[in-house]
C-alpha cells in the first residue's frame, strides 16, 4: 500500500517569518509539544527523516494489525480458559433467589452468607469444581460464637447450605454454591480492557521511541519558538495532507470496533445483565464512535478543502 503516509511529514510545518515553525511531540510522548524555528534546508532534512521513518515503520504497523488482535484474543482466551466463577444463590424459603458471582482464584474463594436472625455461615471453596475440590463450611451464631466446621465435596453439582432458625427446627434460608469454568463478566471485561490498553500503549510507545531516536539528533541546537500550530489548524493541515488510503484504514478499523461494540451491547441488554457492567462495554463503544466521527469529519473537511477554488 504505497503512499499510505504520503504528505504527513508536512503536517508539523507552518511557514512563518524567517522560515518555518516545526512542531513535534514531547520526547516523553505526554506533555507540551516542542516547537522549533527552521530554515528551508533544515525543513527538507527533517521532512526527509520523517518520510524515511514512516517508510520503515509501515511493515511494523501492518504486522501489528494482525499481531495485536491475535495477542489480545489469545490472552483473553487464556484468561477465560484458566479462570473459574463461583455463583452463590441465596433464597429464603418460598422467596426469590439472589445471585452473586465471584471469581475463584488460585487459592479458591471465600464468603459469608447472612442468616435472617443475625447468624451467618462462612464458606471456602478450595478451587474450581472437581472430584478433589472441597467446600469448608463454618456456622457462626448471632452471638458471634463459632460453631462446627464441616468439609464436603465441591463437584459439578455444587454445594447446598441449609440455614435453620434459632431453634434449629426448620430451614429458613438455603444457599447454593455452584462453580463453572470461565471468569465473571466483570472480570472478563476488566481483563480485556486492561490487556487492550497495555498492548496498544506498548505499540504506540515503540513507534514513538523509534521515531524520536531518529528525529532528535536533527533538532539539537535548533532555536525554539513560541509560535505554535493550534489544534484546529493542525486538524485542517492533517485533513489536507492525509491520504485517502490512510483514511480508509482508519475508518475500516473504527467501523469493525464499533460493530463489535454494538453486538456486545445488544447481547448485554438482551441478557438483562447488571447495569454495573455497562461502563466496561460503553468505553470501547464510545472510543470507536469518536474515531468513526473523527474519520468522517476528516473526509468531509478534506473534500471541502479540495473543492475550494485556488486563490
Q: Which residues contact 179 (CB under 8 A, 6 or more apart)?
A: 84, 85, 86, 87, 104, 125, 128, 129, 133, 154, 156, 158
Under DSSP, the state recorded for 177 is E
Domain boundaries, the chain: 1-83+185-227, 84-181, 242-311
Sheet holding 84-92, edge to edge: 98-103, 84-92, 171-181, 159-164
- What is residue 253's predicted lDDT score, i.e. its pLDDT? 75
- What is residue 271's predicted lDDT score, i.e. its pLDDT? 67
Beta bridge partners of 84: 181
pLDDT values of the chain reduced to their tens digit, one per residue, 311 residues: 446 667 778 888 888 888 999 999 888 888 888 999 999 999 999 999 998 998 899 889 888 878 888 888 889 889 888 889 999 999 987 778 888 989 998 889 999 999 878 889 999 999 999 999 999 999 998 888 898 899 999 998 999 998 887 666 788 889 999 998 888 878 887 888 889 889 989 999 999 999 999 999 999 999 999 888 887 887 887 777 777 777 777 777 777 777 877 777 777 777 666 665 566 667 777 877 888 888 888 888 878 877 766 54
Which among 78, 21, 54 has a CA at the least distance from the CA of 229? 21
- What is residue 252's predicted lDDT score, i.e. its pLDDT? 79
Contact 112, 122 (CB under 8 A): yes
Contact 164, 147 (CB under 8 A): no
Which residues of the chain form beta strands (DSSP E)?
13-16, 19-24, 34-38, 84-92, 98-103, 109-114, 120-125, 134-140, 146-153, 159-164, 171-181
- What is residue 12's predicted lDDT score, i.e. its pLDDT? 86
- What is residue 3's predicted lDDT score, i.e. its pLDDT? 60
- What is residue 35's predicted lDDT score, i.e. its pLDDT? 93
Amino acid at each position: 500500500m504505497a503512499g499510505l503516509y504520503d504528505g504527513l511529514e508536512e503536517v508539523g510545518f507552518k511557514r512563518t517569518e524567517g522560515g518555518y515553525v516545526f512542531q513535534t511531540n514531547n520526547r516523553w510522548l505526554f506533555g507540551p509539544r516542542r516547537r522549533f524555528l527552521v530554515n528551508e534546508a533544515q525543513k527538507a532534512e527533517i521532512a526527509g527523516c520523517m518520510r524515511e521513518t514512516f517508510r520503515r515503520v509501515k511493515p511494523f504497523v501492518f504486522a501489528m494489525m494482525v499481531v495485536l488482535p491475535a495477542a489480545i484474543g489469545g490472552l483473553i482466551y487464556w484468561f477465560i480458559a484458566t479462570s473459574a466463577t463461583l455463583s452463590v444463590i441465596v433464597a429464603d424459603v418460598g422467596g426469590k433467589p439472589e445471585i452473586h458471582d465471584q471469581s475463584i482464584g488460585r487459592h479458591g474463594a471465600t464468603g459469608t452468607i447472612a442468616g435472617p436472625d443475625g447468624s451467618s455461615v462462612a464458606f471456602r471453596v478450595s478451587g474450581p469444581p472437581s472430584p478433589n475440590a472441597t467446600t469448608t463450611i463454618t456456622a457462626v451464631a448471632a452471638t458471634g460464637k463459632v460453631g462446627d466446621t464441616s468439609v464436603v465435596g465441591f463437584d459439578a453439582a455444587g454445594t447446598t447450605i441449609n440455614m435453620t432458625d434459632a431453634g434449629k427446627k426448620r430451614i429458613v434460608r438455603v444457599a447454593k454454591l455452584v462453580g463453572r469454568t470461565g471468569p465473571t463478566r466483570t472480570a472478563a471485561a476488566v481483563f480485556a480492557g486492561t490487556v487492550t490498553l497495555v498492548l496498544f500503549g506498548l505499540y504506540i510507545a515503540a513507534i514513538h521511541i523509534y521515531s524520536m531516536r531518529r528525529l532528535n539528533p536533527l533538532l539539537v541546537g535548533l532555536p525554539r519558538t513560541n509560535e505554535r500550530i493550534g489544534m484546529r489548524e493542525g486538524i485542517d493541515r492533517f485533513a489536507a495532507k492525509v491520504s485517502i488510503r490512510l483514511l480508509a484504514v482508519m475508518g475500516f478499523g473504527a467501523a469493525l470496533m464499533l460493530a463489535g461494540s454494538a453486538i456486545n451491547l445488544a447481547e448485554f441488554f438482551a441478557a438483562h445483565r447488571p447495569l454495573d457492567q455497562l461502563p466496561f462495554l460503553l468505553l470501547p463503544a464510545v472510543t470507536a464512535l469518536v474515531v468513526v466521527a473523527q474519520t468522517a469529519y476528516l473526509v468531509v473537511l478534506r473534500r471541502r478543502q479540495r473543492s475550494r477554488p485556488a486563490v
